[in-house]
Amino acid sequence: MRDTHQHPLNQLPQFGALSRHAQQARGWQLAELFREDPSRAARFTLEAAGLCLDYSKNHLNEETIRLLTTFAQARGVESLRDAMFRGDRINLSEQRAVLHTALRLPPEARLSVEGEELVGGIQQELGRMALFAERVRQGDWKGYTGREIMDVVNIGIGGSDLGPMMTVAALRAYAHPRLRFHFLSNVDGHATTATLAELDPATTLFIVASKSFTTQETMLNAHAARRWFLQHAKETDLAAHFVAVSTNTSAVTAFGIAADNMFPFRDWVGGRFSIWSSIGLSLLIAIGIDHFREFLSGGHAMDEHFQHAPLHANMPVMLALLGFWYREFFETSSQLIAPYHEDLRHFPAYLQQLEMESNGKRVTRDGKPMSMKTAPVIWGSAGTNNQHAYFQMLHQGTDLIPVDFIAALKPQHDLIDQQRALMANCFAQAEALMNGVQDPSLPPHRIFPGNRPSTMLLMDQLSPASLGTLIALYEHKTFVLGALWDINSFDQWGVELGKTMALRILAELEGSESAGQHDSSTNALITRARSALK
C-alpha cells in the first residue's frame, strides 16, 4: 500500500518535481502575487467545521498545491489516515492502535476494532465521569468536613497536564464560577509548595492524572499532596479528596485510590492526544458535560472533514503541506504560533508537545535514517504581547519564520474597542510581514524586507466546539506531517534516556549509590549538589 516508503523520501520523482518548482517559488514576491491575481485570497482560503484558513500569504500558487498534494498522495497519506481511523496498529514501535478519534465519535456511532465494539464503552466511561463532575459542580461531592469542593488540582505532566491546563484556560468563559483550577506538573518543590499554600485541604480535590502512573514528577507531587493532606485529615478521608485518571489500575490501587475513584482510559490514547479521554476530567468539571460534549463534537467535525475532503481542500492536510514546504525547501527551522486571544495563551506550549514529541524523530517507521529535516521548533505566545517582545526578529531578523495567526472574531466581553484593536494588530502584523518597507530614501535600519509568510486561522468565537475543532486540526496536521516524513508520530522513545539517567543521578544525590561514574563535568555537578542537599 505505501511502497513509495521503500525509497528515501528525496529520491521520489514527486519530490524531485517539488524541488524544481521550489527553485522558482523562492524567487516569488508575495505582494506581487497579490497584485497579479485579485482573487488570490479567495483562491487560497478554506472553510471547514466553522474554521476559516486563509493561507494566501504563503509562497505558493496553484501548481505548488498540485505538486504538494500529488506528493502527499504518493506518500500514502490517505491510506495511513484511513488505517488510523479504522484502528489498525499504526504505532508500530509500541504495537498500538491510535484511536483518540474514537473518543469524539457521536454516542450513536459504532466502531469495531479487532472484534471489540468501542463506542459503548467510551460512552459508559464518559457517563461515569459526567456523574462525578456534576456532583463536584453541584456541591454534592463533600470533603471530609462536609464542605463542598472549591479547588481542583490536576497533578500530571506532559500530555496529562498540557491538555487540561490549556483547555481549562481557553474555556474560562464557560467555567463553573465557584471552582478554581490548579495544575501541578513540575517536580520542582517550589511549584508544589506554592500551590499547596493556596489550598484548604477540606475543600480541595486532587486529580492524579498519569497514563502510566509511574511518572516520577507526578508520583512525587501526588505523594507530597497526600502527605500535606494527611497533616490535616485521616487516611479514611483520602477517598473524598483524591481521584485518579490512568490506564494502570494496579498502580492506582497501590497508591491508595479506590477503583471507584479511578477513571480509566485505554492504551490506544497517546498522552499528547488524551484531552478527549478521562485525562479531560478537570475540563469536564470546569465546563460541565453539555459543553464537554460540544468540545468532543467540535473535534469530531474536524475528523469528518479530514477523512472526506479532497487533499487540496483539506485543512489539516494544507497546514501540514505548508509546514513541509517551508521546512524542506525554504530551510526554516521554526514555526511560530501566535494566538490573538489571551485565553489561548497556552496553546503554543500545547502544540510544542503535540508536534515536537510526535515528529521530532530521526528514523523512519521502518528504522531507516531520515534523509531530511523533521519537526521544526514550535514556539509562540499570545498577541499582542508577542509583538513587543520578539516580533522585531520576524520583521528584520535574518531567519524566515512562518507564522500561524489564530484569532476569534467575537469576544466574550463587551470591550469592543479592545477587540477591534486586537484584530487590527493581528491583521496588520500579517500584512507588514508580507509587504515590508523598501523605500530607498530610508536608512537601512528602517527597511523591512517583507515577503515573510503567514497563515491566518479565524473562528467566529472561542467556544467548546471551536476549541475542539482547533485542537483536532493541529492533531491531524501533525499526523499528516508524520506520514509525509514516514515517521511514527505516536511514540516518544527520545524521552526515556533522560528519565533513566535522572534516576541514576538521583540515587547518587541520595547517597545510596557511589558517585564518580560520569564525565568530570557531571561528577563535579553531582558533588556540589550532594553537599548542598545534605
407, amino acid identity: A
In the complex, least distance from residue 225 CB atom to ligand F6P, rounded to whole angstroms: 15
Q: Determine the Cα–Cα distance for residues 122 and 106; give it in Å rounded to an integer.
A: 10
Closest to 406 (Cα-Cα) out of 383, 389, 388: 383
Evaluated on CA atoms 8, 11, 16, 22, the torsion sign reads positive
Residue 58 CA to chain centroid, in angstroms? 23
Position of cell 479532497?
310
Nearer to ligand F6P, 61 or 192 (CB): 192
Segment 353-372, which members bind ligand F6P (CB under 6 A)? 357
In the complex, least distance from residue 494 CB atom to ligand F6P, rounded to whole angstroms: 9
Q: Determine the Cα–Cα distance for residues 282 and 136; give it in Å rounded to an integer.
A: 11
End-to-end CA distance of the chain, in Å? Answer: 60
Nearer to ligand F6P, 174 or 273 (CB): 273
Contact by Cβ (8 Å): 264, 251: no
In the complex, least distance from residue 162 CB atom to ligand F6P, rounded to whole angstroms: 8
Contact by Cβ (8 Å): 468, 106: no
Q: Does 489 bind ligand F6P (CB under 6 A)?
A: no
By rule CB under 6 A, what string of x and - marks binding of each residue 218-257 to ligand F6P? x---------------------------------------
Reported as type and span, the H/E element at residue 83 is helix 77-86
Segment 325-354, which members bind ligand F6P (CB under 6 A)? none
Segment 491-520, which members bind ligand F6P (CB under 6 A)? 492, 495
Nearer to ligand F6P, 235 or 496 (CB): 496
Nearer to ligand F6P, 294 or 475 (CB): 475
In the complex, least distance from residue 215 CB atom to ligand F6P, rounded to whole angstroms: 3
In the complex, least distance from residue 36 CB atom to ligand F6P, rounded to whole angstroms: 46
Segment 151-180, which members bind ligand F6P (CB under 6 A)? 157-160
Sequential DSSP letters for 310-342: -GGG-HHHHHHHHHHHHHHHS---EEEEEEESG
Q: Determine the Cα–Cα distance for residues 18 and 65; give it in Å rounded to an integer.
A: 10
Site residue total, ligand F6P (CB under 6 A): 14
DSSP 369: B
By rule CB under 6 A, what string of x and - marks binding of each residue 2-31 to ligand F6P? ------------------------------
121, amino acid identity: G
Beta-bridged to residue 206, according to DSSP, are 153, 242
Segment 409-468, which members bind ligand F6P (CB under 6 A)? none
Q: Determine the Cα–Cα distance for residues 440 and 433; give it in Å rounded to an integer.
A: 18
Radius of gyration from C-alpha coordinates of the chain: 25
Nearer to ligand F6P, 94 or 431 (CB): 94
Look up residue 233 and give its three cell numbers: 485529615
Nearer to ligand F6P, 170 or 209 (CB): 209
Nearer to ligand F6P, 265 or 325 (CB): 265
In the complex, least distance from residue 189 CB atom to ligand F6P, rounded to whole angstroms: 18
Closest to 529 (Cα-Cα) out of 508, 512, 513, 514: 508
Supply the residues annotated as catalytic. 357, 388, 499
Nearer to ligand F6P, 304 or 496 (CB): 496
The correct pick among 87, 143, 271, 464 for binding ligand F6P (CB under 6 A) is: 271
Q: Is the peptide bond before 203 cis (omega within 30 degrees of 0)?
A: no
Nearer to ligand F6P, 54 or 357 (CB): 357
In the complex, least distance from residue 527 CB atom to ligand F6P, rounded to whole angstroms: 29
Segment 194-223, which members bind ligand F6P (CB under 6 A)? 210-212, 215, 218
In the complex, least distance from residue 163 CB atom to ligand F6P, rounded to whole angstroms: 9
Look up residue 90 and give its three cell numbers: 499504526
What Cα–Cα distance (Å) separates residue 435 from each residue in 29, 57, 392, 448, 507? 9, 10, 15, 8, 57
In the complex, least distance from residue 495 CB atom to ligand F6P, rounded to whole angstroms: 4
Largest alpha-carbon pair distance within the chain?
A: 78
What Cα–Cα distance (Å) separates residue 297 from each residue in 300, 301, 465, 491, 506? 5, 6, 6, 26, 45
Segment 102-161, which members bind ligand F6P (CB under 6 A)? 157-160
Q: Determine the Cα–Cα distance for residues 227 and 255; give it in Å rounded to an integer.
A: 12
Look up residue 282 and give its three cell numbers: 478537570
The correct pick among 21, 272, 327, 477 for binding ligand F6P (CB under 6 A) is: 272
Burial of 485 (0-12, 13-18, 19+ CB in 10 A): buried
Residues making contact with ligand F6P (CB under 6 A): 157-160, 210-212, 215, 218, 271-272, 357, 492, 495
